[in-house]
Amino acid sequence: MADLPDLDTLRIGIERIDSEILDALRRRMDLADDIARAKLAAASPLRDPTREDLVLRKVREAATSHGLDPHEIERIFRLIMDMSVARQQALIQRLDTTPLRVGYPGIEGSYSHMAARDRYAGRQGGVLLTGFETGREAMDALRRGELDLALLPIENTSAGSMSETYDLLAAGSVTIIGEMLSQVDHRLLGLPGARLEDIRTVLSHPQALAQCELFLRKVPWIRPLPEFDTSGAAQKVRERNDPTIAAIASESAAQRFGLQVLARDLQPASGDYTRFVELAREAAPVPPDVPCKTTLTVVLEHRPGTLGQVLTTLAQRGVNLSKLESRPIPGEPWRYRFYLDVEGHAASAPLIAAFEDLQPLTSSMKVLGTYPRAENWHG
């Protein structure tokens, strides 16, 4: 019988391998620091679920090829990923200039993400973007202090107003401190090799489906189905791997999920633009020489002609009304809350006088924010 290896020698070999594993983990954590800095500079979310799923899939395949239990290896790598994220968060907390924490509805590659990236990328100190499934979740995180800002879409040039955002603003606890205008350029995305005539279902956010209504009329064999997010719809097309399913989303989403552009020019020739509002827990000062806008909400006294009196009052005070929106008041059938966008600062003499004149016409009135007016329709 051959001599068995000495137990102490075997243990020394395991300790050597353990040391190599620890050294590899240290190098991985060092790379996690570099990734955190790169994400802050590029205004990318700290967590990337799609990337993580791809890594875990590769890990499971590699584990199987090495004769290891893929489920146990996946569990280990999930812990390593959590360690990496914790390392990145710790790095962010140590920075001399704390990065801005911004939330938006949707996942990476969505129009809200691209708008946030355009607005905050390059900011000194960095930006930490976080996507949420809904605007409500982003707003709740802002109220809890987990975010510094939230960027939510509020209206589109072809599909109209985003009712959810208006309803969230009515809940209070936040203020509008900015707005931006971003061009929306939809594409019809399918699996590589898919053909337009074979598509039977298209997934997208309800607003995107509404924006592409004219195109969808031309392809009556395609049934639209709403999803919470355009980029999330593109992700589902990739995951389902069904050539009869497509998504309406951005070119960026096509590149991110490896999809093929089946059709362009889904919107009117004049193009589509979405207006976003930037929300914070506290108001921000507006320089005196910057053209600004004020948003307020009012509930009118329930008597004939009150809305007409409000509009007349603003006109008499020389206040330009740029937007008027109404939303039903929950629990009060047939009563409505009105949202008004007016040009000027809430602290300016014309608006102070106008608001005083409006008081007798309203049962409640609240300024939701004064902020710089967006002038550039190209975002």
Q: Could you give the CA distance from residue 189 to residue 243 in angstroms, rounded to a whole number?
A: 10
Say how many CA atoms lie within 13 Å of 52 toward its Cβ: 16
Residues in CB range of 181: below 8 A, 6 or more apart: 273, 274, 275, 276, 374, 376, 377, 378, 379
Helix (H, G, I), strand (E, B) or coil at 261: strand
- Nearest by Cα to 118 from 180, 40, 47, 184: 180
Residue 45 is given by DSSP the state: B
Amino acid in position 14: I
Residue 274 appears among annotated catalytic residues? yes
Residues in CB range of 27: below 8 A, 6 or more apart: none
Residues in CB range of 193: below 8 A, 6 or more apart: 243, 260
Q: Which of 130, 175, 230, 274 is catalytic?
A: 274
What is the CA angle 339-342-347, rounded to 5? 110
Contact 143, 113 (CB under 8 A): no
Contact 186, 166 (CB under 8 A): no
Q: Which of 132, 215, 276, 338 is catalytic?
A: 276
What is the CA angle 281-283-288, rounded to 5? 165
Residue 276 appears among annotated catalytic residues? yes
Contact 102, 128 (CB under 8 A): yes
Pairing type for strands 223-226 and 201-204 reads: parallel
Helix (H, G, I), strand (E, B) or coil at 106: coil
Residues in CB range of 55: below 8 A, 6 or more apart: 77, 81
Stated as kind and residue range, the H or E segment containing 28 is: helix 7-42
Residues in CB range of 348: below 8 A, 6 or more apart: none
Residues catalogued as catalytic: 274, 276
